[in-house]
Amino acid sequence: MRTMATALLYDPVFAVHDAGAGHPESAMRYTALVRALEEDRETAGLPRLRPRPATESELASCHGPGYIDLVRRRIQEGRRSLGFPDTNVGPGSWDAAVHAAGGAMVAVDAVMQTDVQSVFCVVRPPGHHARPKQGMGFCIFNNVALAARHAQIAHGLERILIVDWDVHHGNGTQEIFYDDPSVLFFSTHQSNWFPYSGAVHETGDDAGEGFTINCPFPYGTGFAPIREAFLERLLPAARDFQPELVLISAGFDALEADPLGGFRLHPDDFTELTAIVRDIADKNGTQGRIISLLEGGYDLHSMALAALEHVRALAA
């Protein structure tokens, strides 16, 4: 029986990032999710955490200083893009992005230092495509990677598991940790789809060989193969790795209704995926510590339903 709390992290600052009229990564994603969480009787009473802005030195744990300067400068200049693929910005994007990264760190501190055991972070912009020196795919800073580095630097953790179930491969996260055996990165994603990475043979480099596990699936994939990958690939790897903290890149664009993906998952499928990750966190020396960070998900109705299933399963 779990006795510690599941918390939510959200704040209006995440609605000020404006990627432009008609852009799928809009503030309506934040609004729809927060409304659903606040109106659901099972999640409305959960403790709430507030984000803080990440410092530039904290951002530099995963991103080059030149890139950080570029992001700040282009936003200050009123540009509408960072100049990289699919990285639109607006006047409030710096504040949103540094609070998304800092919010992830607040969540790490909460599970390490308080009676909070798991946190779902409703942050935007998303992060898992952000590379060390390049924004990409709606992402500015890599929130999940920065959370992992913060856990290592601030709390001395040595083994961190990142589970990415977004329909798009988390290429930025993979790149940041590709030669690092202290982070096990596991991803299920659509093959031959943006960002066109994440092949089975991409397993890590040098000391990190074997600590990247990619499970690509074709267009039209339903829940059964994803579930099998979690059970047959993730569970044994996690038993061997013995993580001290589990992070989730929680994209909800693998849903059948999503306009930017080709998978056929349903909202209640995320109940079982969450249960599998909870089992890892409860049994492998992690003391149940899980931090989940919003990534993709662009059909507002199904995304909100799936996120509710996810949070209810975290809090069960």
CA distance 241 to 184: 8
Q: Is the pLDDT of residue 267 over 60?
A: yes
Mean pLDDT on 200-211? 98
Mean pLDDT on 289-315? 98
Mean pLDDT on 116-138? 98
Q: Which residues 6+ apart lie within 8 Å of 39 measured at CB?
A: none
Question: Mean pLDDT in the chain?
Answer: 97
Q: Is the pLDDT of residue 134 over 70?
A: yes
Mean pLDDT on 14-26? 97
Q: Which residues 6+ apart lie within 8 Å of 41 measured at CB?
A: none
Q: Is the pLDDT of residue 216 over 90?
A: yes
Catalytic residue at 128?
no
Residue range 24-50, pLDDT digits in tens: 999 999 999 999 999 999 999 999 999
pLDDT band at 175 (very low <50, low <70, confident <90, very high): very high
Q: What is the pLDDT of residue 141?
A: 98
Residues spanned by the domain of 81: 5-315
Percent of the chain with pLDDT strictly greater than 90: 97
What's the burial of 282, exposed, middle or buried (CB within 10 Å: 0-12/13-18/19+)? middle
Provide the CATH number for the domain around residue 111: 3.40.800.20
CA R_g for the chain: 17
pLDDT band at 285 (very low <50, low <70, confident <90, very high): confident
Q: What is the pLDDT of residue 286?
A: 86
Q: What is the pLDDT of residue 1?
A: 37
CA distance 58 to 48: 23
Q: Is the pLDDT of residue 292 over 60?
A: yes
Q: Which of 99, 129, 169, 189 is catalytic?
A: 129
Q: What is the pLDDT of residue 25?
A: 98
Residue with tokens 């509408």: 80
End-to-end CA distance of the chain: 9
Residue range 57-105, pLDDT digits in tens: 999 999 999 999 999 999 999 999 999 989 999 999 999 999 999 999 9
- Strand 5-9 and strand 290-294: the pairing is unpaired
What is the tally of structural domains in the chain? Answer: 1
Q: Is the pLDDT of residue 2 over 70?
A: no
Q: What is the pLDDT of residue 97?
A: 98
